[in-house]
Amino acid sequence: MELARELRADVLPKLEAKNIKAFLVTIGTAERGLEFAELTGYPADSLPADPENVTYDALQLKKGVVDTFLNVETPLAIKDRIVKDGAAGLRQAISSWKSWIPWGRGSRVSRGAYVRTLNMGTNATSLELQPGHVVHHGDAGDIEARIPSETTGKKAGWRPNVVLEWFCKMKGGSAKHPPSPPATDILLGGIGSFLGLFAIASLNAKFYGKINLPLLLGCFGASATLLFGMPSLPVAQPRNVFGGMVVSCMAGLFWRTILGTYVMVAAPLGVAFSIIGMQLTATLHPPGGAAALIIAVMEPLQSMQPLVTADTVLRGSSASWCIRTSLEPTMQERFLHGLVLTLASLLGSFILFGIALLTNNIGSSEKRYPTYWWS
């Protein structure tokens, strides 16, 4: 695109002044050529289409990632453009760049015009696009091409380059980054997150050594970020906060109980099923995935004792929980300790939401939290 724009602006006027017509052969169909002409401003009648790369191959031009992008000349050329004009042409080309994928041999085209370029090859070869429409290498070293100006047939046999399209998607969309919220909202969000986590940490410290209930879990940091930093998002509404936590905790608890001796399997299954469950129930809450992971991988050190029952599961220090690669040997132990983590996750969510309900409604009368409760 950059070359076409530069030719149109700097070269074509000089050639036309001397009655010289220049053709820019494009790889692809006439339909693609017309799109290319619209983007670059290059005259469409001077853009012959070459669906099978006949001209490209005859000239033996460089092709492929290794010969083009992974070439020492590429960064040097970019440097020269930056020095010349800040790479204005390159930046303009990138801003409108898109994937130009040639059609396969099954492409069908209709009417067109002939063009001729000189000294393009020595051996006579031809490619038939459809009856009567031929790209031909002449014996004299010329190329004569029937260039379609419109397309009417279906793209029979054409298949997109899936891998190239996949990489093209990584260019991203055209959406702009949202602006920062007002300073007062930022300050209130920070205060609210502090109060919420301070309340949970205080309860954790109060019951330290009395009950084996770990309250200060990592998923609460993510919940606080959503509840106090982005309270207007759907993932921060009550339905998602509580529904997402319940679904995620159940997923983590289930796989912990069933496959707890194989944490490397139980952990990813817990998170995967929590995501699926939250999406099916329209309760997506990202910290829920963290809660499922915590439930699937943590156990108290006391679980190494020979007997763990419902009466003894809450005894011991709340600081004795750790991550393991293999959990308790019996399903009963894994279920009971997973249930403790589930209760801790739900309790912490209630505390954070309660604080958010107070702090997020301070200030402007237009502020409303939650934006909805359930539907």
User: pLDDT for 94-134, tens place per residue?
Assistant: 666 655 544 443 333 333 333 333 333 333 333 333 333 33
* Residue 156 pLDDT exceeds 60: no
* Residue 53 pLDDT exceeds 70: yes
Residues in the chain: 375
331 vs 110: which has the higher pLDDT = 331
Q: Which of 227, 188, 198 is nearest to 349 (CA)?
A: 227
* Residue 14 pLDDT exceeds 80: yes
* Residue 279 pLDDT exceeds 90: yes
How large is the average pLDDT for residues 185-198?
95
Q: Name the band, by pLDDT with cuts 50, 70 and 90, for residue 51.
A: confident
238 vs 166: which has the higher pLDDT = 238
Phi and psi torsions of 143, nearest 5°:
-120, 125
Q: Name the band, by pLDDT with cuts 50, 70 and 90, for residue 349.
A: very high
CA separation, residue 272 to residues 106, 325, 334 (Å): 42, 18, 19
How large is the average pLDDT for residues 8-23?
81
Rounded CA-CA distance 195/112 in Å is: 73
Poorest-pLDDT segment among 21-25, 264-268, 282-286: 21-25
What integer pLDDT is reported at residue 88 of this predicted model? 74
Query: What is the percentage of the chain residues whose pLDDT exceeds 90?
Result: 32
353 in Cβ contact with 238 (< 8 Å) = yes
Q: How far apart are the first and last CA of the chain?
A: 49
* Residue 194 pLDDT exceeds 80: yes
The pTM assigned to this predicted structure is 0.55
How large is the average pLDDT for residues 130-144?
38
Sign of CA dihedral 276, 277, 280, 281: negative
Count of other CB atoms within 10 angstroms of residue 172: 6
Q: What is the DSSP letter of 303?
A: G
311 vs 304: which has the higher pLDDT = 311
**pLDDT tens for each residue of 211-264:** 667 888 999 999 999 999 999 999 999 999 999 999 999 999 999 999 888 889
> In the chain, where are the structural domains located?
2-169, 183-359
What integer pLDDT is reported at residue 161 of this predicted model? 63
**pLDDT tens for each residue of 172-184:** 877 888 888 899 9
112 vs 87: which has the higher pLDDT = 87
Q: Are strands 126-130 and 26-27 parallel, antiparallel or unpaired?
A: unpaired
Token code pair at residue 60: 């033996």
The pLDDT mean for the chain works out to 75
Q: What is the DSSP letter of 102?
A: P
